[in-house]
Structure formats: structure tokens, C-alpha cells
Amino acid sequence: MNTTPSNIKLHKKSKSLELTFEAGNFELRAEYLRVHSPSAEVRGHGVGQETLQTKKKFVGISNVELVGNYALKISFDDGHSSGLYIWSYLYDLSINHDNYWNTYLEKLKAAGESRDSGLIGLG
């Protein structure tokens, strides 16, 4: 299976990235991409060193840059822009979206944390 996307579209208004693979078309919200960033800041430097990302419900994508022919660098409007989303990782995030999202929500609940920033009127 080819994991290189044939098309990439940034939808700033809906805060999502649309990716087209051989397996289909996927739309990944900015929040999902942000909390699953491949950066060391999020993933740590080894198993068990991950940092749970909280209060990212309203994050948007400010920029997307192609890195060579193997990855995207996604900059978010909360200032986060480290970590390269290689094609195989984006493909994995796409086809396993529901499982990864539900696991993230379970981790938030277990930690007593929230997706919301706590700001009133941003809904």
C-alpha cells in the first residue's frame, strides 16, 4: 500500500487537513493532529515520556510546508511547529483515527483534564 498522499488540502475555516491516499480520502482536524504531534515535546524521547496535550479544542493550523518528498511540517496557531509528519505517520493517523481519538479522550478523562481551554464564548 502506498502511504504517500496524492493530494493535500488545508481547510483553515474548518481547521482541518484533507489527505487523499490510495485507501481513500481523510479529513483530520487540527486538534487531532496537534495532540498527536510527532515532536519530542509531545512524544518525549522514549516510551512513557509522552506529554498529554490538553486544552487544544480550538487550535488551528496556521501553515503547512512540504519537507522534501517525505513529510509535512505543520505549524499550529498555538505556536507549536516542531516535529515532521512523515507520510507513513499521516497515513497511520488517518486510517486509525477513531481508535487514536478515543484513546486520547480516555487519557484526558483519566487525568481529569479537558479539551476545552476554559475560555467562555468560544464554542
3-state helix, strand, coil in the chain (%, to 5): 30, 25, 45
Q: What is the pLDDT of residue 121?
A: 45
Domain range list for the chain: 7-111
**Domain 7-111 carries which CATH code?**
3.30.2020.30
pLDDT tens digit sequence for 91-114: 999 999 999 999 999 999 999 999
pTM for this structure?
A: 0.92
- Could you give phi then psi for residue 89, rounded to 5 degrees? -70, -45
Question: Quick check: helix, strand or coil at residue 73?
Answer: strand
- Could you give phi then psi for residue 43, rounded to 5 degrees? -85, -20
Closest CA to 51 of 59, 43, 60: 43
Q: To the nearest 10°, the Cα dihedral for 41, 20, 104, 55?
A: 60
pLDDT over 90 percentage in the chain: 82
Closest CA to 54 of 122, 117, 123: 117
**Dist. CA 61–CA 47, nearest whole Å:** 27
**What is the total residue count of the chain?**
123
* CA 96 to chain CA centroid, nearest Å: 12
pLDDT tens digit sequence for 19-68: 999 999 999 999 999 999 999 889 888 777 889 999 999 999 999 999 99
Q: What is the pLDDT of residue 52?
A: 94
